[in-house]
Amino acid sequence: MLSSVLALVFGYLCGSIPFGLLLTRLAGTADLRSIGSGNIGATNVLRTGRKDLAAATLLLDALKGLAAVLIVSALAPGLPPLFAAAGAFLGHVFPVWLNFRGGKGVATFLGCLIGLDWHVALVFIALWLGVAVVTRYSSAGALVASAATPVALLIDGRRDVAILYGLLAIMLWVLHRANIARLLAGTESKIGASKSVGDNA
């Protein structure tokens, strides 16, 4: 039990590293929290006009989730890596350093999944990219991929991970409620649009 609690705390600390905010500050751009959605994820970083910083943020937000899971897996295999994944996701979404206002967790959701079951992570990536390309809505891709993840995990025989990712997917959908409303209304910004009002990072 103690190892799981420690894994949760460690995962949270890893996930709460605000790479988007740190990178934009180092680059001398506008305060990320004062533009767009105010989120610290890659989508909002893109609003600074720096595609390189947005790509780096996406990568690092995924890697912090992956690192949390892999480190805990090496030290305490079994259930603790699941707690590390939960902690990393919560840390990204609710970082204590930023008054619990973070990003929407898609990249960290994926990074943790790579560490827990890379086969299903490939399914997630394929669905995310596939739906995004077809619909030109990145948020739609993330929503479809996250909803399919628990099912894919069950098919892969990972019931324990499926339960966790079912809960994380519900949270991710709640965090995307504004995106869902815009998708239903037909006002969600499409990939490549000059003006972006959505956010799914």
At residue 29, the pLDDT reads 83
Residue 83 CB-half CA count within 13 A = 16
Tens of pLDDT, residues 151-185: 999 999 999 999 999 999 999 999 999 999 999 99
Q: What percentage of the chain reaches a pLDDT higher than 70?
A: 95
Rounded to whole angstroms, how far apart are CA atoms 103 and 146?
A: 16
User: What is the CB neighbour count within 10 angstroms for residue 22?
Assistant: 14
Model-level pTM?
A: 0.91
43, 46, 52, 55: CA torsion to nearest 10? 10
Q: What is the pLDDT at residue 22?
A: 93
**Residue 81 predicted with pLDDT over 60:** yes
Mean pLDDT of all residues in 109-129: 97
Contact yes or no for 123/149 (Cβ under 8 A)? yes
Per-residue pLDDT at 23 exceeds 80: yes
Orientation of helix 80-93 relative to helix 2-15, angle to 10°: 30
pLDDT of 198 reads: 54
Q: Where are the alpha helices (DSSP H) in 100-158?
A: 106-116, 118-135, 138-155
Of 123 and 198, the structure prediction assigns the larger pLDDT to 123
Provide the sign of the torsion angle of the four alpha carbons 17, 18, 20, 24, taken in this order: negative
When computed from its CA atoms, the radius of gyration of the chain, rounded to whole angstroms, is 16
Write down the pLDDT at residue 199. 67
DSSP letter at 42? Answer: H
Whole-number average pLDDT of the chain: 91
Which residue, chain included where needed, has tokens 């025989």?
157
Q: Give the pLDDT mean for 28-36.
A: 79
Residue 34 reports pLDDT greater than 90: no
Supply the pLDDT for residue 201. 64
